[in-house]
């Protein structure tokens, strides 16, 4: 949990700069440190067979503008691996034959005595001619070889992250110190892909979480699931909730809405992350599972992990155990409100945001009560206020 010093000063600065904050990009919570470089703006001509020097060992690129990743490598890489695969059995066979011959020579002394004599006469017979030949071979090796351009193999594949999730959440105490988190998932009309899978980050101790999904969806809680996060000091990590479609007619197409996603847990509300994406098609699996050199496959696998190959959204979900104090919860919601404002989901200049931030900023360590007086006007404000009251135990 990040504890910010001098919070009143930071609060004043951010309120003053609200207009600038709202201009920031929406996807500020998603990973941006992709393990592969961006596809060069001018592209790479496969016929020339020349990779830019700065990409001499890069074979996989990300092209977010087109929701694609690009695989580009010299065809010679395939030939080298094929040759190595063909040579491996031959080398093994030669090694085995050499071992057998060595064992055969070791059975008798005569063979051992005759071998040095034979080698001595052979060396003498070569004389100066052998030395001249060796010098000629060394001279040839020193001559620089002219580099011949090798054609590149360039292929484009679709990423799975061109979705536009809009998630509504309601938090309801259900007795026994448990909370029901209900989610409604919409996929905006601007999306280019359907939402077929999504995952939510949960703390390592998920509070005995149980999960439900709508008809045609499978939901499971994954213990010991660690997600790669942009801000691991803020988002509690260690397990996850995963939903995945079971029937094609149940995916959330662009413009559609799905209800019935829920998690029940002993953990009180706080901010977490969700990852949303289309499922990989059979055709894509076949295309990307074909033969590629090992060094290329490694770079592909690093890019196509769930966290990079999905759209990341800030959510409210199970986070705090029953022992969490008001100060810790207040710090979490201060950071969440600021982040939502940078995403454009909240307005730092609204009465609700100004008042709530001021009241949360005043919560000191050890405080036993919190006073919340602001009224929510928008949907996001209502969701934040409802979750905050539930987490603090305010009726």
In tens, the pLDDT along 212-262 reads 999 999 999 999 999 999 999 999 999 999 999 998 999 999 999 999 999
pLDDT at residue 228 in the model: 96
How far is 155 from 60, CA to CA, in rounded Å?
Answer: 10
- Strand order from edge to edge, sheet including 178-187: 165-175, 178-187, 257-265, 210-212
pLDDT at residue 286 in the model: 64
More confident site: 107 or 167: 167
Asked if residues 69 and 280 have their Cβ atoms less than 8 Å apart, the reply is no
Question: Rounded mean pLDDT of the chain?
Answer: 82
What pLDDT band is residue 308 in, cutting at 50, 70 and 90? very high
The pair of structure tokens assigned to 266 is 């002993």
More confident site: 207 or 93: 207
Asked if residues 336 and 384 have their Cβ atoms less than 8 Å apart, the reply is yes
Classify each residue of 167-206 as buried b or exposed e, where b means 16 or more C-beta atoms within 10 Å of its C-beta. bebbbeeeeeebbbbbbebbbeeebebbbbbbbbbbbeeb
Residue 88 has pLDDT above 90, yes or no: no
Distance, CA of 56 to chain centre: 24
Residue 26: name the closest of 318, 346, 334, 308 by CA.
346
What pLDDT band is residue 354 in, cutting at 50, 70 and 90? very high
Q: How many residues belong to the chain?
A: 395
Residue 180 has pLDDT above 60, yes or no: yes
pLDDT at residue 79 in the model: 67
SS3 184: strand
pLDDT at residue 18 in the model: 38
Residue 273: name the closest of 228, 303, 304 by CA.
228
What pLDDT band is residue 8 in, cutting at 50, 70 and 90? very low
More confident site: 283 or 50: 50
277: phi then psi, degrees, rounded to nearest 5:
-165, 170
Non-local (6+) Cβ contacts of 300 within 8 A are 60, 69, 71, 288, 292
DSSP state of 17: T
Residue 15 has pLDDT above 50, yes or no: no
Q: Is the C-alpha dihedral spanning 220, 33, 4, 354 positive or negative?
A: negative
DSSP characters over 315-361: EEEEEE-TT--HHHHHHHHHHHHHHHHHTTSS-TTSHHHHHHHHHHH
The pair of structure tokens assigned to 135 is 């010098």
Query: What does the pLDDT look like over 128-160, one tens digit per residue?
Result: 555 666 665 665 565 555 555 667 888 999 999
More confident site: 91 or 288: 288
What pLDDT band is residue 211 in, cutting at 50, 70 and 90? very high
How far is 372 from 377, CA to CA, in rounded Å?
Answer: 15
Give the pLDDT mean for 297-321. 96
User: Can you give the pTM of this predicted structure?
Assistant: 0.77
How far is 215 from 225, CA to CA, in rounded Å?
Answer: 25
Residue 25 has pLDDT above 60, yes or no: no
Query: What does the pLDDT look like over 260-307, one tens digit per residue?
Result: 999 999 999 999 999 999 998 766 666 666 678 889 999 999 999 999
What pLDDT band is residue 78 in, cutting at 50, 70 and 90? confident
Q: Tell me the Cα Rg of the chain.
A: 31
More confident site: 103 or 284: 284
Q: How many CB atoms lie within 10 A of CB 339?
A: 18
Only one residue has tokens 């070791």, namely: 106
Non-local (6+) Cβ contacts of 155 within 8 A are 70, 71, 72, 287
What pLDDT band is residue 34 in, cutting at 50, 70 and 90? very high
């Amino acid at each position: 949990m990040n504890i910010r010093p001098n919070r009143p000063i930071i609060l004043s600065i951010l309120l003053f700069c609200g207009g600038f904050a709202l201009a920031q990009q929406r996807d500020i919570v998603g990973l941006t440190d992709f393990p592969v470089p961006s596809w060069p703006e001018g592209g790479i001509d496969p016929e020339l067979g020349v990779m830019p020097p700065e990409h001499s060992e890069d074979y996989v690129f990300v092209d977010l503008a087109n929701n694609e990743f690009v695989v580009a490598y010299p065809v010679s890489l395939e030939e080298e691996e094929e040759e190595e695969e063909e040579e491996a059995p031959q080398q093994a066979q030669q090694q085995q034959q050499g071992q057998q011959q060595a064992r055969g020579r070791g059975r008798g002394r005569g063979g051992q005595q005759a071998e040095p004599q034979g080698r001595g006469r052979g060396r003498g017979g070569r004389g100066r001619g052998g030395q001249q030949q060796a010098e000629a071979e060394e001279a040839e090796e020193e001559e620089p070889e002219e580099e011949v351009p090798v054609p590149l193999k360039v292929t484009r594949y679709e990423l799975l992250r061109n979705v536009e999730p809009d998630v509504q959440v309601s938090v309801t105490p259900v007795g026994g110190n448990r909370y029901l988190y209900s989610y409604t998932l919409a996929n905006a009309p601007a999306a280019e892909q359907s939402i077929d899978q999504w995952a939510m980050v949960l703390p390592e101790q998920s509070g005995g979480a149980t999960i439900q999904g709508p008809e045609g969806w499978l939901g499971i809680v994954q213990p010991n699931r660690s997600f790669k996060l942009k801000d691991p000091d803020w988002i509690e990590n260690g397990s996850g909730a995963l939903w995945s479609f079971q029937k094609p007619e149940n995916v959330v197409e662009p413009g559609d809405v799905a209800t019935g996603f829920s998690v029940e847990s002993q953990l009180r509300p706080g901010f977490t992350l969700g990852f949303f994406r289309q499922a990989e098609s059979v055709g894509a699996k076949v295309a990307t599972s074909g033969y590629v050199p090992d060094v290329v496959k490694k770079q592909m696998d690093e890019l196509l992990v769930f966290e990079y190959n999905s759209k990341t959204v800030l959510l409210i979900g199970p986070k705090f155990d029953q022992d969490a104090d008001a100060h810790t919860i207040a710090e979490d919601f201060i950071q969440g409100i600021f982040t939502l404002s940078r995403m454009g989901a909240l307005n730092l200049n609204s009465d609700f945001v100004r008042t709530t931030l001021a009241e949360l900023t005043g919560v000191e360590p050890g405080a036993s009560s919190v006073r919340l007086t602001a009224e929510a006007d928008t949907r996001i404000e209502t969701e934040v206020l409802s979750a905050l009251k539930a987490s603090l135990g305010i009726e």
